[in-house]
Structure 1
Amino acid sequence: MENLIRTYSLDQLAAITAEAGQPRFRAKQLYEWLHKHHALSYEEMTNLPKAFRDYLESRYLLPAVTVINRQVSQDGTRKYVLQLSDGALIETVGIPSRNDQRLTVCVSSQVGCPMACQFCATGKEGFTRNLNADEITNQITVVERDFQQPVSNVVVMGQGEPFLNYENLLMALKEINNSQSFNIGARHITVSTCGILEGIEKFAKEPFQFTLAISLHSAIQSDRDSLMPRVKSQPLDKLKQSLQAYIDHTNRRITFEYLLIKGINDSNLHLAALKAYASDLLCHINLLSVNNVDGSPFKPPAPETVNHWSNELNKVGIETTIRHSKGADIDGACGQLKNKLI
């Protein structure tokens, strides 16, 4: 989007300022509003003359975002339904650590999602459009302002498949990582994909140490195809080749996200397949139990099953962590985002 003002450099803002007949120092003020204060509207830029703000608003886009619903979980997680300038709705989740020293934001990259994963509420909503870079980073601003503390970690694991919105995603990640902006370290920024091979190959070549996560959910092709039908064209053998190439090129560890579903992908056969798939990759596995979602036939496995999987994977040298979903009571946990207003 050519006139998205947050994408302009300081020199470009200086040229805009000159065109508007404003003194040069206004460019620095404008830059700080955009990248230091993360202004969500021109109205917030109170030290800029109104005439200059009106000039900017008529020519350069600063996408609006409005919180139309906010829910707070018993565990402190907060879920937001945000309305964008065209009326589209997305969801964002703020997740504080137990000691409140860290604040993680789960951001969306698309309005809806085209991947139609069977266990995901967003997938049932269908796909509307990609988010631009501002609409991605504005989610962080909303959470920072509400919690009144800086965000320490960002996970692109909300609505949408990030690698199907690659250019806008990368633009947003650079802003999040920028020392003059959000200043969040690259290793504290994670992008989760269903396994879009082209995106993985591009991501490997980026000069940043962002973390790559793969939504795996089964290492048996037929079962993965049933759970994630739109990823059939990205088969497991080719995915593994792409991941090995990524590891070889970056020397960075990948993360597998594995959502355990009772009677679907939690058998000993599935465990053996995962061991075989991950054993020779530089990886870490996050095990999660599927959440109960209204209208979904999928149910979480017994805690003993989850513990068994974790023990068995760790026993063979595959580093594994059991992740406990937060915000389930407000439909804010993994797989539950679906713009349900309460």
Structure 2
Amino acid sequence: MYNILDFSLDELKKWMTDTGESSFRAKQVMDWLYKNQIWDFDNMKNIPQNTRQLLKKNFYISIPQLVKTYESERKDTFKYLYKYDDGNIIETVVMKYNRGNSICVSTQVGCNMGCRFCASTIGGMVRNLSSGEILAQVLACQKQIGEKISNIVLMGSGEPLDNYDNVLKFIKIVNSQYCLNIGQRHITLSTCGIVPKIKKLAEEKMQITLAISLHAAEDTLRTTMMPIANKYSIDEIMESCRYYINKTGRRISFEYALVQGVNDSDRCALKLVHLLKEMLCHVNLIPVNKIKENGFKQSSKNNIENFLRILSKHGIETTIRKEMGSDIDAACGQLRRSYLDSKKNRERV
């Protein structure tokens, strides 16, 4: 059986005609799934019963089960733990802004990248999520909050470019008119810097925002924070970023998680200025979240603001990411890790 959420409209049309059904039935099914939020074939009332039976025989609708909900004190951030059909747990975050609702989706169960400041990597990567499983997070959250999602960030658990084909298909489906029609300019993909895949993505000439998890402007320091830096140097990443900009005309966002005493000095800021000078880019400074396994501490407010001043003074457009959900451990992988640890403890008892 197939997860119908993995199918594009054209793929479902082809399946319909291959099985002797009318191709227009595919659009009717898509309308039930995405416009009416009906996830039971039996309730798709304008579909003939024999067609519904055929769909039930060949497809299932994989919406993950809600395990737990966390809500921030300010009621602007919601974190959901979801369980897929195989029992794997992922987490999804919804952030409410004046401009609309943003969702941070996971692309893998766990992650293989090993970044020291991220809890997603603890325990490694279990498996990739399919395009439909990523999409199901958006569908489930929309129904949960009773409001539309307007912005998508592929920045949850997992490395999106390590799951390239499924992520690309998800973006194309969620962007389509028959699905949720979320514009590509409202979608951000964050990567730790897999150079060949950045260049491959550039060839797609999509209008999404590419965000690079940089966190250091020199290889020696970056390798202590991100193992991927041992494979791809900063020079290689910058070259791929310039290639991406030339191909798409899109500005790149560089994420820089500020860690006290590690990468938050004036020298680090000036190194970053030198690296990004004259590039079409934006820097997003991120006060790092405390994770008990790595011992990293968040930079002081003064250091963060000073870092911002140095970059801005040299013409680098820079913002500080607004902290949302810190009271509910909303950083990547933290709640999943806490849930799995507590589950293990219960099983021991």
Q: Is the structural similarity TM-score above 0.5?
A: yes
Q: Which residue of 1 aligns with 2:316?
A: 318
- 2:165 aligned residue: 167
Deviation for aligned residue 1:80 = 0.5
Q: How does 1:88-237 map to 2 (within 5 A)?
A: 88-97=88-97, 99=98, 101-237=99-235
* 3-state SS in 1 of match to 2:204: coil
CA separation of 1:44 and 1:103: change in aligned 2, threshold 3 A: farther
2:109 maps to a residue whose letter is V
Residues 22-31 or 169-178, more deviating: 22-31
Deviations 1:216-267 (A, max 9, x none): 0111211110100133101101111111111112111100000000011111
- Whether the 8 Å contact between 1:91 and 1:339 is mirrored in structure 2 is no
In structure 2, the partner of 1:85 is 85
TM-superposed deviation, 1:167: 0.5
- Tell me, yes or no, if the aligned pair for 2:66 and 2:81 is still in contact at 8 Å: yes
Q: Which residue of 2 aligns with 1:5?
A: 4
CA gap 1:60/1:129 in 2 versus in 1, 3 angstroms: same
SS of the counterpart of 1:256?
Answer: strand
Q: Following the alignment from structure 2 to structure 1, what is the Cα–Cα distance between the partners of residues 10 and 275?
A: 49
* Higher deviation after alignment, 74-83 or 151-160: 74-83
1:304 maps to amino acid: N
Against the structure 1 CA distance between its residues 181 and 270, is the aligned structure 2 distance closer, same or farther, given a 3 Å change threshold?
same
Match of 2:334, SS state, is coil
Question: Is 1:248 matched with 2:246?
Answer: yes
1:308, distance to aligned residue in structure 2 (A): 0.5
Partner of residue 238, structure 1: 236
Q: Does 1:259 align with 2:245?
A: no
In 2, the alpha carbon distance for the partners of 1:11 and 1:210 equals 22
Letter paired with 1:34: L
Structure 2 residue identity aligned to 1:57:
K
**Equivalent position of 2:65 in the other structure:** 66
Following the alignment from structure 2 to structure 1, what is the Cα–Cα distance between the partners of residues 108 and 53? 29
Deviations 1:268-303 (A, max 9, x none): 221121111111311100001111223431111110
Q: Which moved more, 1:82-91 or 1:330-339?
A: 330-339
Q: CA deviation at 1:25?
A: 5.9
CA contact (8 A) 2:8 2:173 kept: no
Mapped to 2, the partners of 1:202 and 1:284 lie a distance apart of: 22
Higher alpha-carbon deviation: 57-66 or 231-240? 57-66
More divergent stretch after superposition (77-86 vs 175-184): 175-184
Structure 1 residues 313 and 14: CA distance shift in structure 2, 3 A: closer
**Secondary structure, counterpart of 1:111 in structure 2:** strand
Write the letter of the residue equivalent to 2:132: D
User: How far 1:178 sits from its partner (Å)?
Assistant: 1.0
Mind listing any 5+ residue stretches in structure 2 that lack a counterpart?
343-349
1:270-281 aligned within 5 A: 270-281=268-279
Partner SS, residue 338 of structure 1? helix
* Alignment-mate amino acid for residue 58 of structure 1: K
Change in CA separation of 1:218 and 1:30 when aligned onto 2, cut-off 3 Å: same
Moved more, 111-120 or 16-25: 16-25
- Structure 1: stretches of 5+ with no match in the other structure: none
Structure 2 letter corresponding to 1:273: K
Cα 1:4/1:28, change in 2 over 3 Å:
same
Q: Distance in 2 between matches of 1:182 and 1:236?
A: 36
* 8 Å contact from structure 1 (residues 216, 257) kept in 2: yes
Structural RMSD (CA): 2.3
Distance 1:120 1:15 in 2: 42
**CA separation of 1:10 and 1:105: change in aligned 2, threshold 3 A:** closer
Measure how far apart 1:104 and its partner are.
Answer: 0.2
Summarize the Cα distance change of 1:43–1:292 in structure 2 as closer, same or farther, 3 Å threshold.
farther
Listed one character per residue, the Cα deviations across residues 173-205 of structure 1 (whole Å, up to 9, x for unaligned) are 011211221111111100000001011101111
Q: TM-score, normalised by structure 1?
A: 0.91
Query: What SS class does the counterpart of residue 34 from structure 1 fall into?
Result: helix
